[in-house]
Structure 1
């Protein structure tokens, strides 16, 4: 009788999407951030630190604020004001109940950034980083998909290669940000790991506060909101930043856009949980459903004073912490690879949407240059060559002042914008912010 040796299948450990994400980040971000990468990596793998945004629309706002203070939380807005240079207050005297004072805070630009620590592998670094290239009250207006009648031929001819921004010269000017007095955001001191209690509801079912990453408030502050502004939140769901804008009261009209119906429903529920449907502010909110990444269909041309584009991205922290809907899963590879092109189209449309003199704030939750400053360069270049739009970058010089609070840490690698890095003592971010002003 012949004997056969049983075949044993070779066992290859199956990697989860979050494991693939971490491998990817080690390969690309390691050379990019050098000796700082282990600290950033540990921050990514550690649950983020939240801040609690106090809801002005709750009838129990004073009680809710006392609860947060009794827990030892401090008003982050007051912390950020300390040591800042007072410039002026916003104009007052309107009949609007939401006429709020706001200090305009001047940020002195830090021209002497400490050089980043790097290792001796410039060639490998260059290779890796370049390759890493309840329902809300019915709104006063609802918009559906439209067709862009302007520059249609130009829009159809545009192909995003990712190289459009090479060598671009973009003027940079100093700027300030506005911290509205109405906005109250509470945070624990650095190194505190306390959790916030579950938000409570008032008699109308309106929640007391909600939690945000501490980095997520900076793009909204960078908008420098005024009470006369028409504001667009271009990719608004799940609604955290839209709610933050609502808390300031510094706008005349707020348009919240989201292309996916499921996410638009998520946005409506968020608004309904935090804003009473009989509040006058509701009349200032417009819900819109359009594909903001379509250069052909987007037809909101030069109609907004301020545009916030919190773009879809790899969301680096979530990518290494959870596997559900992870962009590093094999089924979502193409979506992930297409992100820079999608982000570029979104930013081009944001620049088309804003009036001359208005500003666009672009933000992501990614550390990747090809989703951050590279996208800015490419979008600015295409906007100028195809649509005749010219912009300047407004440097907020955030590093000097926010770092002094002990709650924020910034990268020195960005040639454009600002990048908040996660680190254990105060685990905010990652959050990339770049402010652009349209001048033509």
Structure 2
């Protein structure tokens, strides 16, 4: 976290930015919540869970999680809402949704992932430490083993790993060898995108460190580099317009918790964090334009009837619900300008299956709170999980029929 030499002018600018920062977020979350619970919770270290790499032996992974200081009693399953094939919901297990996630009863983090030797294909890393809310956001896409999936803003790769483990459960190490199919015969694809070159390279290296090599070699998993904010982006995607069943948009955002941590670390040593000194209330409005452009690309790239999950780690409504609202309005204007165009003959609807199912909603309520269009996990949640911040909204791209079309039909 960068810090700079303190001058009177810089100190004044930093103090003004901090005051403005508090004022802005208190206006969103109320003075009482912001100062009494939310800001203090955001100031604490991030809590991580562990996404187990099921492409290596589970006993080796659990041994890596326990390390030298932890016992298995400290580690518990991390529950996720799941809609089964029949439409009935139940707490997810590895056999059902292709994920195995663990959390600790203590605040102590899990050990750093370790290399695990495989019989034929070298080594793979044991687990991925990530915020439990991030796992939840990727999981809400509800991918199935035949889906064509796009992770539009994939770096550093944790959410792509969540998606991959759900797409290819037959490759899990727990499955009997004779039951595994040749991946070339699989219908599913995962395209993990990152436009920044250095982050794209990191994404590729990370996925190669966790996934079976045949997924990369056969391009079942493909790392791509496209600027999703460009109007031409959807035509550059491997499956193009309306080519994907599911799309995840984990959009770049203000990352306020990072700013708070940088400020506190610098302040503890009498320094000034550039992140806080340079912060302005207008930043959210500026970045929201990028987020809305990414979401439009996602919606154009998904099939009619397909699902898009939009997510950020921001606590600003301008970057969350307001982006959804802006996107709805943009699609309405496009339909109005081109009423007879088939490319605009769709609308956004919100997937309420989790909300309608009692057991799924109970899991969501234990981690998140509802917003106008989606949900947000915040570390001051009453349940005490200390997850987030992470906002997500589950959308479906549905056919739109104008009155003129209905009359003709």
State TM-score, norm by structure 2: 0.73
Correspondence 1:427 to 2:345: no
Of residues 29, 33, 54, the one that matches 2:25 is 29
CA distance in 2, matches of 1:282, 1:407: 40
Structure 2: gaps (5+ residues): 1-6, 169-186, 267-272, 335-343, 400-409
- Greater mean alpha carbon deviation, residues 398-407 or residues 34-43: 398-407
- Residue 102 of structure 2: aligned partner: 186
Secondary structure of 2:125's partner? coil
Q: What whole-Å deviation, never above 9, does each CA across 1:354-373 have from its counterpart, x for those lacking one? A: 11000100000011111001
Q: Structure 1 pair 374/400, CA: closer, same or farther in 2 (3 Å)?
A: farther
CA distance in 2, matches of 1:29, 1:332: 12
Cα offset for 1:415?
1.2
- Residue 165 of structure 2: aligned partner: 247
Q: Structure 1 pair 326/390, CA: closer, same or farther in 2 (3 Å)?
A: farther
- Residue 236 of structure 1: aligned partner: 154
Of residues 196, 199, 223, the one that matches 1:260 is 196
CA distance in 2, matches of 1:401, 1:371: 29
> RMSD over aligned Cα, in angstroms?
3.4
Secondary structure of 1:199's partner? coil
- Greater mean alpha carbon deviation, residues 323-332 or residues 308-317: 323-332
- Residue 73 of structure 1: aligned partner: 75
Cα offset for 1:326?
6.5
Cα offset for 1:49?
0.6
Of residues 283, 303, 309, the one that matches 2:219 is 283
Cα offset for 1:205?
2.6
Matched residues, number: 339
- Residue 196 of structure 1: aligned partner: 110
Q: Structure 1 pair 337/88, CA: closer, same or farther in 2 (3 Å)?
A: closer
Cα offset for 1:46?
0.5
Q: What whole-Å deviation, never above 9, does each CA across 1:89-122 have from its counterpart, x for those lacking one? A: 47xxxxxxxxxxxx95279xxxxxxxxxxxxxxx
- Residue 55 of structure 2: aligned partner: 57
2:254–2:284 Cα contact (<8 Å) kept: yes
Which protein has the bigger helix share? 2
Of residues 321, 336, 348, the one that matches 1:391 is 348
Q: Structure 1 pair 33/399, CA: closer, same or farther in 2 (3 Å)?
A: farther
Of residues 243, 253, 261, the one that matches 1:321 is 261
Secondary structure of 1:305's partner? strand
CA distance in 2, matches of 1:319, 1:209: 27
Cα offset for 1:295?
1.7
Cα offset for 1:384?
3.2
Q: Structure 1 pair 28/398, CA: closer, same or farther in 2 (3 Å)?
A: farther
Q: Structure 1 pair 75/15, CA: closer, same or farther in 2 (3 Å)?
A: farther
Correspondence 1:438 to 2:374: no
1:393–1:437 Cα contact (<8 Å) kept: yes
CA distance in 1, matches of 2:199, 2:302: 24
Of residues 228, 239, 248, the one that matches 1:308 is 248
Structure 1: gaps (5+ residues): 1-9, 91-102, 108-175
State TM-score, norm by structure 1: 0.68
